[in-house]
Chains A and B, each alone.
Chain A
Amino acid sequence: MQIKPQLVRDLIALLGPKAVLSEPEDLMLYEYDGSVELGSPECVVFPSSAREVSEIVRLANRYEVPLLGRGAGTGLSGGAIARDGGIVVAFSRMNRILEIDAANLRAVVQPGVVNLDLSRAVDHLGLYFAPDPSSQKACTIGGNVSENSGGPHTLAYGVTTNHVTGLELVLPDGEIVRTGGKNLETSGYDLNGLFVGSEGTLALVTEITVRLTRKAEAVKTLLAVYDTIDDTTESVFEITVRAITPAACEMLDGFTLRAVEDYVHAGFPKDCAAVLLIEVEGLSEAVEAQAAAITEVCKLHRAREVRVARDDRERALLWKGRKEAFGALGRISPMYYVQDGVIPRTRLPETLRRIAEIAAKYDLQIGNIFHAGDGNLHPLILFDERDRAQFERVVAAGGEIMRHCVDVGGALTGEHGIGMEKNELMSLIFSPDDLALMARVRASFNPAGRLNPGKVLPLGKGCGEIRIPHIPASAATPA
């Protein structure tokens, strides 16, 4: 694919020279995101309105080049990677909060608004935006919508789709349409539900109406410390069985914790096998009762210690440790490959044992940090990108973990999306007919396949295999 100089000139005429990048030195900086994927666009544009986005789409159609949206590029499945070249539509300059309607618990935002910036902007009103992906201090709400992002508090509050009531979209033919509105329920088809999580393959999102959530009256954050992984997972199992519903229930294994503690100094014990970070919130009385019940369960399963965060500062520190745990592993390894499988919570103990076996089999280090409460695993396989042979073992181990998740009745992704990383694995959980239905949905909006090609649906190259990425994004000259 080679885009024509005339297309670049047309884009500049449309957007101005400061909103179009087409030099190689600039394009190289859009070939990566937060994942291990790589692919260079041929042009990057920075629109400032839905009308401009629409014109960009029309130009792409006229010149028959692919295009895709990009938020902050923090994604973990290559969703914002230009797999087939073409135009990247970067939303970093469409970053205004357009309206805060506190009385009706709604906000209207442009797609480039950073997730945490919205929560900060409504903090003084006692409100926040509930979806809290770990990258929330950098990732954009447009990206959250595309990937249907979750986060630790997904357990109680649901994922992004549960917090989006309206969208403005530019369809692959350039038409600007609206779905939903400020109401929770709309008449007709639930089109919001269709577009949220479509990973940028059905439309480009140009405006989002989101639900705001009232902060709970009381919050308690508990840290349960264990000497074995089995005791940790058994505790999660029992919390589930006893129908206790915390707002969040996260597990970090000892290996990961040691890197994290060096970064946050939150007082995480460095000599344990794992911890559970559990949060309960609601009315004060209920919170006390739930915290007591959880403490009892953890103690029953031989928790060495159950600690309660004393104040907001300590609570924030514990969460900082959890949310920035991926990055903290960068302290001990040049790169990681993160998985996102989902399993029934009741299968946690055996799954963790299986992951340990896989790590031993392939001679790899795997850190486990995950949303234990909803069975969303994030095994992080560490590697050094200069070691090609090791990287192939990493991909094989990743595939084996995925297949295990599917075998125990789980799913490929909880929140990171399928992207270009796991699309070939889709056939493990969907029949050809199921996949054909998805392909029909995509074709009805995006018939030419020009919007974010090569994502979500299998290309049918290596059936049931994880694709081995070309070359990890941070790969350097061998030393």
Chain B
Amino acid sequence: MTESTANTEQAAVTAQPSGFSGADIPAYDDYAHCVHCGLCLNQCPTYKLWGLEADSPRGRIRQIVLVDQGRLPLGDSFVKHIDQCLDCRACETACPSGVQYGKLVEAARAQIERNYRRPFFSRLTRDFVFRRLLPYPRRIAVLARSLYFYQRSGLQAVARASGILGLLGLADREQLLPPIDQKFFFSNLGRTYSAIGQRRARVALFAGCIAQVSFSQLHEATIRVLTANGCEVVVPAGQTCCGALAAHAGARDAARGVARTNLDVFLKGDFDAIITNAAGCGSTLKEYEHLFSAGTAEHAKAAAFQKKMRDATEFLADLGMTAPLAELPLRVTYQDSCHLLHGQKIREAPRKLLRAIPGVELVEMNMADYCCGSAGSYNVTETETSLALLAEKMKHARATGAPVIVTANPGCLLQMRAGTRIHSTGQEVVHVVELLDRALSQKA
């Protein structure tokens, strides 16, 4: 390029209007921290997979800058690469400049939601899931019951055997569906569980949306472990979905709606902490501030709420386990949940809890800090990529020789359980809290 074309380009830069508009714009002050050093590249699962700058954190930030400068249209190419981001935020851990990548990509997705017309079916699905399903527990229950029927009536077996799923192009996705519980957790909302022994803390349990129909047992285990360690556990009624899936997808209006409900519900009670066993939810719950403009009453409420938000592993490791644990002679490996490690910067707490169980031997997995491909709804929207990442993950998990894979988020559990089936690794996949519960119950 010659000096003169560069100058022309400079002129063009200043002349073009930004491709962003309205609320939730990726802010200059956020993206200007990126000095394009490239230290994030090798930490990015999609860059590692394809080797394309466009699918690296640095490249995605650059595309956001280019759209803001009006040099790149907010069109198909931009949407494709922003969609392909897992939002795992491993780049944030790698970034020395402190770029809040998650905030940028979520704002970019809000802009896409606002300024880009997706295909009809995609719009319909997104609207249904984020605005008409996840915020409404009753609707989730109804849908879950039909899914339960599908999974348990033999219909699933027939569908899988008949090959019809393959014909519909759903075979890959179908195997990632959450198995539905027989008894949903909804009936526990509004209950209080007393602390066993001396009360050390009073906490609220955040129960989520899909987790209530698919992870009731994890919730029950969480309550048992907390009460056994001296916590009074309240499961506030009226709580709803955290809004993480919506926020990650750019449906910030939907995320704000559920956030308001949760803020009201949880700030009403006087709790020492609000606990979640889902790292993905926790990461969004701890960032409710991002959804509201600074200076507003809601922003202040979000700030007060965030201060109390704790991941179950974080809370238990800080509180200290007092309940006696039985010996579990097990070799386990821990897969970092991205939204715990990268989103909440929690690395040691789950490992500390695992080591606290007598007999448990923790073997570190190679690349445990890389995403398993679950990434919220990514395994449904970008199934092929998700499965490629899962294959890598299973290779490393198998290499540890550990019969048990432990993680800290329901999404990761589902994904890796599917992984152990697809790749026939014969491993069991459990949540940290479930393993603690097992050691607890064997002692009792």
Contacts and interface: CB of A to CB of B under 8 A. Distances in A.
B54 A26 contact: yes
Interface in B89-112: 94-99
A32 B59 CA distance: 10
Interface in B57-104: 59, 62-63, 65-66, 68-73, 77-78, 94-99
A327 B53 contact: no
B6 A137 contact: no
Interface string A18-56: 000101011011101110001110000010000000000
Interface string B4-35: 00110110011010100000000010011111
A67 interface: no
A138 B41 contact: yes
Given A29-B63, A470-B3, A477-B13, A73 B96 contact: no
Interface in B389-433: none
A469 to B, nearest CB: 9
A327 B51 contact: no
B40 interface: yes
A169 interface: no
B52 interface: yes
A478 B96 contact: no
Nearest to A90: B51
A427 interface: no
B32 A263 contact: no
Nearest to A76: B37
A230 to B, nearest CB: 28
A135 B39 CA distance: 6
A63 to B, nearest CB: 19
A387 to B, nearest CB: 12
B38 A138 contact: yes
A470 B62 contact: no
A34 B96 contact: no
Given A137-B94, A479-B28, A72 B54 contact: no
A475 B40 CA distance: 20
A317 interface: no
Contacts of A325: 96
Contacts of B42: 72, 114, 116-117, 137-138
Interface residues of B, number: 48
Contacts of B39: 74, 135, 137-138, 324, 327
B51 A476 contact: no
B1 interface: yes
A16 interface: no
B37 A34 contact: yes
A328 interface: yes
B51 A46 contact: yes
Contacts of A477: 13-14, 16, 18, 68-70
Contacts of A61: none
A139 B9 CA distance: 30
B139 interface: no
A335 B36 CA distance: 9
A29 B54 contact: yes
A137 B90 CA distance: 13
A93 interface: yes
Contacts of B94: 137
A331 B1 contact: no
B96 A32 contact: no
Contact of B36 (A85, A470, A473): A473
Given A30-B53, A38-B6, A92-B51, A476 B68 contact: yes
A318 B366 CA distance: 23
A263 B96 contact: yes
Contact of A331 (B40, B53, B97): B97
B314 to A, nearest CB: 17
B71 A327 contact: no
Interface in A44-93: 46, 72-74, 83-85, 90, 92-93
Q: Residue among A26, A93, A138, A474 with the most chain B CB within 10 A?
A: A138
A93 B47 CA distance: 10
19 contacts: A25-B72, A28-B62, A34-B35, A34-B37, A38-B1, A73-B38, A92-B51, A93-B51, A112-B51, A137-B39, A327-B95, A328-B98, A330-B97, A334-B32, A336-B35, A470-B9, A476-B28, A476-B68, A477-B13
Interface of A: 21, 23, 25-26, 28-30, 32-34, 38-40, 46, 72-74, 83-85, 90, 92-93, 95, 112, 114, 116-117, 135, 137-139, 262-263, 324-331, 334-336, 470-471, 473-479
Which 10 pairs show the lowest CB-CB distances between chains A and B? A330-B97, A327-B96, A92-B51, A324-B96, A470-B6, A74-B38, A330-B35, A29-B53, A334-B32, A25-B77
Interface of B: 1, 3, 6-7, 9-10, 13-14, 16, 18, 28, 31-43, 47, 51-54, 59, 62-63, 65-66, 68-73, 77-78, 94-99
